[in-house]
Amino acid sequence: MTGPIYRLKAHDGNAEREIIIDVTRSASTFSTPGEGLKTVLGSILRNPSLGIEDVVDFGAGKLKNVPFILEMGKNVCAVEFERLSFNPVTQSNYDLCGSYDGHFRRLSPDLFAEDVQRFDLALLINVIPTMPIRAERDSALKLIHDKLRDGKYALWFSLKGDDLYKSRMEAGKTCSDGIWLGENRNFQTFYKNYQPEEVIALMHSAGFVPFDRFHVETNHSLLFRKG
């Protein structure tokens, strides 16, 4: 990834304009994971047959999911741009994570790409759909595949944004192969809507095979195995 900031051409109805996308603005405003995500994570992390010990949270945002995973006795590597480290929610969660001495570390995407550690579970929580460049999405998924131990897992968890996506597309508010969000802001965000069959195809192209699916009312939640 080149960084969190992108200058891209976008459409706003019939007009074309340049917008500045900051992918870190897509990070959740909540300080803790929602109940649906906690149920899914708990089901995976408590399953002894999966053998999950080392977890990478790719696109960890404000670290809202990390304390929950640490509390379950797992090791976590959080991958996120430094730009988000100054957020008060991030700082509070970082202090909490730091109390799990030896079980938590945080890396920038560049350092993660160079790191030699391998993992049992990669979390892709509302991250791939917010990346505006298709080639970077593909590269990120292939990187995640390489970072997993053989036969281990990746969790795709993304919002069901069908109504929002449809309304923005109909209004012609498009950018790259998705939509942009953030009226009257200096920085916008990007969103690419994926249906489950599209997620499966995308993950398959990176070397993953479907393993399990979880019912969460507002989210797509699919677990993949490294092929």
Q: Using an 8 Å Cβ cutoff, are 189 and 26 in contact?
A: yes
Share of the chain above pLDDT 90, in %: 95
pLDDT per position as a tens digit, 15-42: 999 999 999 999 998 888 999 999 999 9
Q: In what order do the strands lie in the sheet with 75-79?
A: 104-107, 75-79, 54-58, 119-125, 148-159, 219-226, 208-216
- Helices 196-205 & 134-147, crossing angle to 10 degrees? 70
As a whole number of angstroms, the distance between CA 27 and CA 127 comes to 9
As a whole number of angstroms, the distance between CA 189 and CA 181 comes to 5
pTM of the model: 0.95
The answer on pLDDT for 183 being more than 90 is: no
**Residue, of 51 and 183, whose pLDDT is higher:** 51
Angle CA(72)–CA(73)–CA(79) in degrees, nearest 5?
Answer: 90
The answer on pLDDT for 151 being more than 90 is: yes
Q: What is the pLDDT of residue 30?
A: 83
The answer on pLDDT for 2 being more than 80 is: no
- Band the pLDDT of 1: cuts 50, 70, 90: low
> Residue 3 corresponds to which amino acid?
G
As a whole number of angstroms, the distance between CA 189 and CA 27 comes to 10
Q: What is the pLDDT of residue 31?
A: 81
Closest Cα partner for 117 from 129, 103, 130? 103
Token pair of 103 as six digits: 């079980």
Q: Using an 8 Å Cβ cutoff, are 153 and 224 in contact?
A: yes
Give the mean model confidence (pLDDT) for residues 120-130: 98
The answer on pLDDT for 191 being more than 90 is: yes
- Band the pLDDT of 184: cuts 50, 70, 90: confident
Residue-averaged pLDDT of the chain:
96
pLDDT per position as a tens digit, 39-94: 999 999 999 999 999 999 999 999 999 999 999 999 999 999 999 999 999 999 99
Q: Using an 8 Å Cβ cutoff, are 74 and 105 in contact?
A: no
pLDDT per position as a tens digit, 85-114: 999 999 999 999 999 989 999 999 999 999
Q: What is the pLDDT of residue 14?
A: 93
What structural domains does the chain harbor?
A: 5-226 (3.40.50.150)
Q: Using an 8 Å Cβ cutoff, are 37 and 216 in contact?
A: yes
